[in-house]
Amino acid sequence: MNPAPPLFHVMTKPTGAICNLDCKYCYFLSKEMLYPGSRFRMADELLATYTKQYIDSQKSREVTFAWQGGEPTLMGLDFFERAISYQKQFARPGVKISNSLQTNGTLLDDDWCRFFKKHNFLIGLSIDGPEELHDKYRVNKGGAGSFKQVMRGFDLLKKYHVEFNVLCTVHAGNQDYPLEVYRFFRDELGSDFVQFIPIVERADDHVRSLANVGWSERHGGDRPLYTQAGGLITERSIDSAKYGRFLITIFDEWVRRDVGKMYVQIFDVSLGSWLGQPGGLCIFAPTCGDALALEHNGDLYSCDHYVEPDYLLGNIQEDLMIELVASDQQKQFGRDKQESLPQYCLDCEVRFACHGGCPKNRFISTPNGEEGLNYLCAGYRSFFYHIDRPMKQMAQLLRQRRPAAEIMRITAAEDEAQQQKEFSSTKRNAPCPCGSGKKFKQCHGRKR
Ligand code: SF4
Ligand code: SF4
């Protein structure tokens, strides 16, 4: 057997693809088709098997169970009570076990939140921004927006002081409103951890024509299983250049006032890359394959984004999970990320931070016609180039054992110097460079 990775991560889907919402961009709802006739509930015996195998196969002193869906809370509290009791039963001495759970938040109540608090769950809450932006695609089975129900769940998480992160997908509906989205999380929700996930929904002509109806409407129809295929994208998908601008706009605000206070995952992971410590996020790692997905019946897949027949590794009730993780198939899956990079990426100055991004999005051609470039390349490139200077400055601060937050003082001084330079060359009747809309002589030029 190949050596198993010392650390790997499994996203566990106890309800499979079943969810109470019908988010229009969800790549997972159609995975229901893989298991016709299933009840989509992880059996107790499998839960015990999985818990034991997962704990036994991790070599670190910390083991994290990650529950995801579909919507995992549809399993009911009893299921998670049992999960905790199996974790206690199979825990090895000296190993810390923790749990995270990704939810749409709409089914949370006092009992759930008491349970989360008691067992220190880290909750990932899916919100796409303020109400009108969130409700664009995050709808229920009747097509109505889910924002109000999510906020009810959010209030309960706050009430019980449950630790939570915001997971925000970025798509055609909110890509033009970076500051509205970011400030909503920071100022309205008081969240200090945000993760942005770009929506890139691949399609062919057939899927594109069906893409804008909800799953409930599609279900009786002939929408095919969503797989990582097709050279087109749906109109809900993010525009690559706009994704770059979205991140840059938020970064510019963050680097001036929120460093050390707001954790924005892509900024933090990037700082790791500039410090020469990559590996914080699989999409920006040179290889992948250490983040797998477990279906409700024990089927283990190479990745949450590749729950499709070609990437099924086996079933953990028949083969040990550790053997599937260490299998040639999975090793090759991880290496493919690096081995399939086009020359354009190999020559790229920001490859150390990007590594070509996730293979699922590599379906466009490079400027000289080579296939396999990431659809998000334009956005990534502009973002990584833009943050290069402040990232170098923060990395330098950290190497000097000073807080990265000192970048805010440095940036403020640079902004001030830049503005003075602009003022000194502005004519009296020209618009003021501060952006007030007034003439310079009636604004910052008044004294002069
Ligand atoms: S395929 Fe993409 S999401 Fe999956 S492990 Fe690799 S980089 Fe991560
Ligand atoms: S920015 Fe573009 S060219 Fe550079 S590594 Fe990333 S995907 Fe490749």
Residue with CA nearest ligand 2 atom 2: 377
Residue with CA nearest ligand 2 atom 1: 381
- Quickly list DSSP for 189-247: S---EEEEEE---EE-HHHHHHTTS-HHHHHTTTPPPP-S--SEE-TTSPPHHHHHHHH
350 lines ligand 2 (CB under 6 A): yes
pLDDT of residue 69: 84
CA of 380 to the centre of ligand 2 (A): 7
Contact between 8 and 292 under an 8 Å Cβ cutoff? The reply is: yes
Instruction: Indicate which ligand has the atom closest to the C-alpha of 286.
Output: 1
Total-model pTM? 0.90
Pocket perturbation via mutation, ligand 1, pick of 281, 284, 290, 305 by most ligand atoms within 8 A of CB: 305
Pocket perturbation via mutation, ligand 1, pick of 28, 337, 354, 363 by most ligand atoms within 8 A of CB: 337
Residue with CA nearest ligand 1 atom 8: 282
CA of 362 to the centre of ligand 2 (A): 10
What's the whole-number mean pLDDT along residues 144-167?
96
351 lines ligand 2 (CB under 6 A): yes
| Model confidence pLDDT, tens digit, residues 136-145 | 999 999 899 9
Distances (CA, A) of 192 to 147, 149, 256, 344: 20, 21, 16, 36
Does a cis peptide bond (omega within 30 degrees of 0) precede residue 260?
A: no
Please report which helix (H) or strand (E) contains residue 268, including its range: helix 265-274
User: What span, in angstroms and rounded, lies between the C-alpha atoms of 201 and 334?
Assistant: 22
353 lines ligand 2 (CB under 6 A): no
CA of 412 to the centre of ligand 1 (A): 37
358 lines ligand 2 (CB under 6 A): no
User: What span, in angstroms and rounded, lies between the C-alpha atoms of 250 and 414?
Assistant: 18
284 lines ligand 2 (CB under 6 A): no
Q: Which residues line ligand 1 (CB under 6 A)?
A: 282-283, 288, 291, 303, 305, 337, 358-360
Tell me: pLDDT of 378 over 90.
yes
Percent of the chain with pLDDT over 70: 94
Tell me: pLDDT of 229 over 80.
no
| Model confidence pLDDT, tens digit, residues 268-304 | 999 999 999 866 799 999 999 999 999 999 999 999 9
pLDDT of residue 7: 83
* b/e code 364-375 from CB counts within 10 Å (16+ = b): beeeeeeebbbb
Contact between 129 and 180 under an 8 Å Cβ cutoff? The reply is: yes
94: helix, coil or strand?
coil
CA of 217 to the centre of ligand 2 (A): 38
Distances (CA, A) of 399 to 393, 413, 414: 10, 21, 21
Amino acid at 170: V
CA of 285 to the centre of ligand 2 (A): 12
Strand partners of residue 166: 125, 194
Active-site residue flag, 388: no
Choose the weakest-confidence range: 74-88, 152-166, 323-337, 410-424. 410-424
pLDDT of residue 448: 56
Q: Can you list the pairs that 186-189 forms with residues at least 24 positions away whose Cβ atoms lie under 8 Å?
A: 186/258, 186/262, 188/130, 189/127, 189/154
Pocket perturbation via mutation, ligand 2, pick of 266, 284, 350 by most ligand atoms within 8 A of CB: 350
User: Given pLDDT bands bounded at 50, 70 and 90, which one contains residue 433?
Assistant: confident
Tell me: pLDDT of 35 over 60.
yes
| Model confidence pLDDT, tens digit, residues 190-227 | 999 999 999 998 877 555 444 444 433 444 444 467 77
User: Of 30, 299, 23, 272, which is closest to residue 167 (Cα–Cα)?
Assistant: 23
In ligand 2, the atom with minimum distance to the C-alpha of 362 is: 7
- Catalytically annotated residue among 299, 304, 319, 328: 304
387: helix, coil or strand?
helix
